[in-house]
Amino acid sequence: MNTLSRFLNALDSYKISDGSQFRLADHNPDDDGHLGLDKDMGKNLLRQVKGLLQDLQELLYANQTHSLLIILQGMDAAGKDGTIKHVMSGVNPQGVAVTSFKQPGPTDLLHGFLWRIHAAAPQAGRIVIFNRSQYEDVLVSRVHPDLLKNGHVPGALNTPEFWEGRYSDIRHLEHYLSRQGTVVLKFFLNISREEQRERLLARLDIPEKRWKFSPSDLHEREYWDDYATAYQDAIAQTARPHAPWIIVPANHKWYARLVVIGTIIRALHNLRQVTPQPSPDVMHQLDDYRTRLLQEKP
Amino acid sequence: MNTLSRFLNALDSYKISDGSQFRLADHNPDDDGHLGLDKDMGKNLLRQVKGLLQDLQELLYANQTHSLLIILQGMDAAGKDGTIKHVMSGVNPQGVAVTSFKQPGPTDLLHGFLWRIHAAAPQAGRIVIFNRSQYEDVLVSRVHPDLLKNGHVPGALNTPEFWEGRYSDIRHLEHYLSRQGTVVLKFFLNISREEQRERLLARLDIPEKRWKFSPSDLHEREYWDDYATAYQDAIAQTARPHAPWIIVPANHKWYARLVVIGTIIRALHNLRQVTPQPSPDVMHQLDDYRTRLLQEKP
């Protein structure tokens, strides 16, 4: 068995399709798959499999029956932007859109928390990447429940029933999307607290990286354990066969990117799409069209 | 007990909050509430209660915590447009929007059937009226399943599981909306087949009404029983306490309009909203603001 096959088989261990037994602490951010790969070999492998992704995206685009929704979540500096850049570059941008969900604006807050999410869902044939997502509404607002007061939702906020309602609404939206033909893949880029410290330090030490630093990153870092609990609960409550979570070991960026692209390739491959063929009666006409074009006066 | 109170009490018999026992045939389109009202008295009563609706809409707008979604469904010529005109005229249009869901366009069809619906959901403080709605996707496409092929949904179409999935997705969307503070009221304007015949004839006989006639109305009329079955199933599957159906006896237009406005008024009244008051510290400042304005040099 070659490295690629062994790698693809290892992916199953990161996928959570049923959250009932999920514990974030069971997942090691340092894991590199024990495939004997190093950073350079990993980058080589990534380059190889990118061609596969391009082919599969073309089939998705041509068939216009399914779509792919990729959700990227993770602590600050977990590598969300880098993953998008390194995994998706090379894919035809006509078929891909990235939506970054920042803090909701005034109009967003006047609507339900899923309003801007549903609006950005992919149409048939397309790939959409959510850089942050509906999960922020059970993560950042769970860690900082005062933010809930910015919304216009009546009734008791921040009760167990309130959060259960949100998890339930998210589950149902994802179930609906999957019924419409959307493949939903949710990636948690799992870094350690120490790795975050090093990456934030690099943003301060390396002049080219300074624009990435935000003082709020240091502030949020103080809530590390609260975020870990919120992630643990959100993943446990929303992992489903039609919308699995993938817990990506992300201390090694090169390995995280391989896990993400490998998971995407496997999911698209499972659709078993082929180039669409014209129907028999159209097929029959193609010779006529060809003749007409050939006989056209120059 | 005066006529208004007796009328408001009669409304309960039209509301379906649990569809498990629902049979459309149990509902008489000719019902006029047996209140001894005639057309003129009914119009008078409508004029009276419109003032209440205006006041309640202002409270909804001022509080910005809840919203109201009114869904209007019915056979052709059941009176959807007339109901909107006669019930909602007089209400401040800044707080009300009507969305008419015609046949989905190419971009709609590339998305899930609830995409354009969710996008049009009301923001806090507003009333939105759906003239036709998500229910068309379990009515017209159930009667004419060939229409399903216009969509881009993979998998088996027009199976019991397919329709159960759609009912379920609709239920969940409405549950979510209600959790966000949206009052959902779904009106089925229930006319008899004979009443439809007379209304369509009037559209042909009266020159001022001819623009309303569409040959497709006659075509769809041939599917009356299929539509009745589709409505029966849709209502049975989606009536819930947080999103009830109201089966409006609609052979008498004046009575149908009373039932619709009465139901809306009762639902808004149940929110027990009052004019928002400034918080105590703002209250304290109001005298200062007043003094500053009075002392301003002209």
Of the candidates B75, B183, B181, B51, the one whose C-alpha atom is nearest the C-alpha of residue B136 is B75
The per-residue pLDDT for A243 is 98
Contact check, Cβ <8 Å, B123/A110: yes
User: Which residues in chain A are closer than 8 Å to B169, comparing Cβ atoms?
Assistant: 172, 175-176, 179
Residues 6+ apart with CB under 8 A from A274: A59
Q: Which structure tokens are listed for A24?
A: 């974030």
Q: What is the ipTM of this complex?
A: 0.90
The per-residue pLDDT for B9 is 85
User: Which amino acid belongs to residue B93?
Assistant: P
The per-residue pLDDT for B57 is 97
Beta bridge partners of A243: A240
Preferred mutation among B114, B123, B159, B271 to probe A, highest tally of A CBs within 10 A: B123
B114, B121, B124 ranked by CB distance to A176: nearest: B114
Q: How far apart are CA B236 and CA B22, in angstroms?
A: 6
Residues 6+ apart with CB under 8 A from B75: B189, B191, B196, B220, B224, B227
The per-residue pLDDT for B297 is 81
Closest residue in B to A178 (Cα–Cα): B112
Q: How far apart are CA B208 and CA B195, in angstroms?
A: 19
Contact check, Cβ <8 Å, B153/A181: yes
What residues in chain A have per-residue pLDDT under 50?
none
Closest residue in B to A161 (Cα–Cα): B179
Residue-level pLDDT, tens digit, chain B, 298 residues: 577 788 888 899 999 999 999 999 999 999 999 988 999 999 999 999 999 999 999 999 999 999 999 999 999 999 999 999 999 998 999 999 999 999 999 999 999 999 999 999 999 999 999 999 999 999 999 999 999 999 998 899 999 999 999 999 999 999 999 999 999 999 999 999 999 999 999 999 999 989 989 999 999 999 999 999 999 999 999 999 999 999 999 999 999 999 999 999 999 999 999 999 888 888 888 888 888 999 998 7
The per-residue pLDDT for A278 is 82
Summarize pLDDT for A184-204 with one digit per residue, the tens: 999 999 999 999 999 999 999
Of the candidates B185, B265, B137, the one whose C-alpha atom is nearest the C-alpha of residue B17 is B185
Q: Which structure tokens are listed for A215?
A: 């003082």
The per-residue pLDDT for B283 is 83
The per-residue pLDDT for A271 is 97
Contact check, Cβ <8 Å, B172/A169: yes
> Domains along chain B?
3-295 (3.40.50.300)
